[in-house]
Homo-oligomer: A and B are copies of this chain.
Amino acid sequence: MTEQNLATATAGANGREQLLSAASQLMTELGSIDVSLHQIARRAGLTAPLVKYHFGSKDGLLLALAERDTKGSLEQLEELMAMDLDPATKMRIHIHGIIRTYARYPYLNQLLDLLLWDQESESSRSIRMGFMRPLIEAQRKILEDGIASGQFRDVEPEFLYFLVIGTCLYIFSTRVAVHELFGETRVRKELATKYSAFAADTILRGISA
């Protein structure tokens, strides 16, 4: 393979995924999305200009990362909505799904906050339409079905949204409190799984009729 061909190959889909994966690793390790293009390129074994080639800008890379990280959850949520399960079971699976996503990408909340911040920006619109709204609508549907079937008490879907998301994400956004309470700064898989069961149980009891 000539050097030219090699460069072309690296500039392809592979380079793109390598860069996203490098950014994801760095953000997870540092517990922060404050990572430079140079660091990302170096971690991927590529060069900073390739980031511009693939994503146009750092914002472009951040948006692509957020889309990559939320894609799986959204697909699972769609599958969940189509399943023949009672609303309480769906809500439980949904809560586990959100926590699994944050456990996998602990920087995701920070990343979404940054991209959403400027409401007029294309990134913000893209995250709102592509992720936030489908999530809000799915949760509303599960809740309304549960109220109609008598499984849930009559609560406001808007309020439930803030309670569910806050419950699921806070443990992943406060290294210091995690350290105070568990002696570690990272929420390991076993802890995430236990917290997930507690969170789902507590919310389900909290909204049951």
Which A residues are closer than 8 A to B by beta carbons?
113, 116-117, 119, 124, 128, 132-133, 136, 155-156, 158-159, 161-163, 165-171, 173-177, 179-182, 194-195, 198-199, 201-208
Majority secondary structure, A binding face: helix
Q: Which residues of B contact A201 (CB under 8 A)?
A: 206
Whether A163 contacts B199 by the Cβ 8 Å rule is yes
Given contacts A113-B174, A174-B113, A206-B202, contact A119 B162 (CB under 8 A): no
Q: How far is the CB of A31 from chain B (nearest CB, A)?
A: 9
Report which of B156, B170, B179, B205 forms a contact with A162, defined as CB distance below 8 A: B170
Q: Which residues of B contact A199 (CB under 8 A)?
A: 159, 163
Given contacts A124-B176, A176-B132, A206-B203, contact A198 B159 (CB under 8 A): yes
A119 to B185, CA, bound (A): 10
Whether B162 contacts A171 by the Cβ 8 Å rule is yes
Q: Which residues of B contact A198 (CB under 8 A)?
A: 155-156, 159, 163
> Which 10 residue pairs of A and B lie closest in terms of their CB atoms, listed nearest first?
A166-B170, A206-B206, A202-B206, A166-B166, A162-B171, A116-B176, A159-B198, A158-B181, A205-B206, A166-B167
Whether A182 contacts B170 by the Cβ 8 Å rule is no
Whether B176 contacts A166 by the Cβ 8 Å rule is no
Q: Which residues of B contact A174 (CB under 8 A)?
A: 113, 116, 162, 165
Q: Which residues of B contact A202 (CB under 8 A)?
A: 155, 163, 203, 206-207
